[in-house]
Structure 1
Amino acid sequence: MTQRGYTLRFNGDQVAAELHGAAERGVLMAGEYVLGESQAVVPIDEAALSRSGTVSVDPGTLTSAISYDTPYAVRQHEEMTWRHAPGRQAKYLEQPLVQSRAQVQAIIAAQLRRALR
């Protein structure tokens, strides 16, 4: 019986870089998903608030931020006594984020799985 030698080469730095890139893409995609869900319930008067919605990613911490940038965005989000058009609401960012927890995790996990193929 002949003995065969095998060499295993593990490119750990390359794997880590690929996974970090995949995680960054996943965090961005998840943020965009939550923003889309939020757009369905954000209060609309002249649509300035809705148009100001954006997603940003911090690659160092692999976190995303979903924000609305108008002078009244925070108050509009927190003021539970204000009346809104049908289907629109206060907590227009918080509620979609909480309800999308499983989808957010699935989006990030899918990107990581793709990187490991």
Structure 2
Amino acid sequence: MVSRQVEFNEKVNPEQLSAQIKRSAVLGLTKSAEHVLRMAKHNTPHESGDLERSGAASVDPPNLVAAVSFNTPYAVRQHEEVSYDHPKKGEAKYLENALRDESAAVLKILAKHLQGAFR
């Protein structure tokens, strides 16, 4: 095994590095949540379009948590009721399926933004 020593000519400021990583994580979470929202909107049941338009992506930066939600009185019921017929378009589990189907894309988006913190 060959080992080599690497010298760094620049000093790393831990506080600046930590702040940059957090900014990159927040951006990655934002882009990831927006991606999942776009995919979920493709599968929301559609009658008037209100459900699709109610979709939102949000991020809680201090806690590094992202959320995707739909805010109509019937959003949860439409999501959970698998026996409903959707003749125009859409499906039950529209948000759950989008998150499951796009999990690899979400990881790539997050990785891309976090890698950017170290450049």
Aligned-pair CA distance for 1:85? 2.7
Contiguous gaps of at least 5 residues in structure 2: 1-7
Aligned with 2:66: secondary structure? strand
Q: CA contact under 8 A between 2:46 and 2:88: conserved in structure 1?
A: no
Alpha-carbon distance in structure 2 between the residues aligned to 1:103 and 1:31? 11
Partner of 1:3: none
Q: Greater share of helix residues, 1 or 2?
A: 2
Aligned with 1:15: secondary structure? helix
Pairwise CA RMSD:
1.4
Structure 1 residue runs of 4 or more that deviate by more than 4 Å after TM superposition: none
Give 2:31's aligned amino acid: M
Among all aligned residue pairs of Structure 1 and Structure 2, give the percentage whose two residues are the same amino acid.
39
Partner of 1:65: 67
**Larger radius of gyration between Structure 1 and Structure 2:** 1
Partner of 2:39: 37
Alpha-carbon distance in structure 2 between the residues aligned to 1:34 and 1:71? 21
Aligned-pair CA distance for 1:63? 1.1
Contiguous gaps of at least 5 residues in structure 1: 1-5
TM-score, L = length of structure 2 = 0.89
TM-score, L = length of structure 1 = 0.91
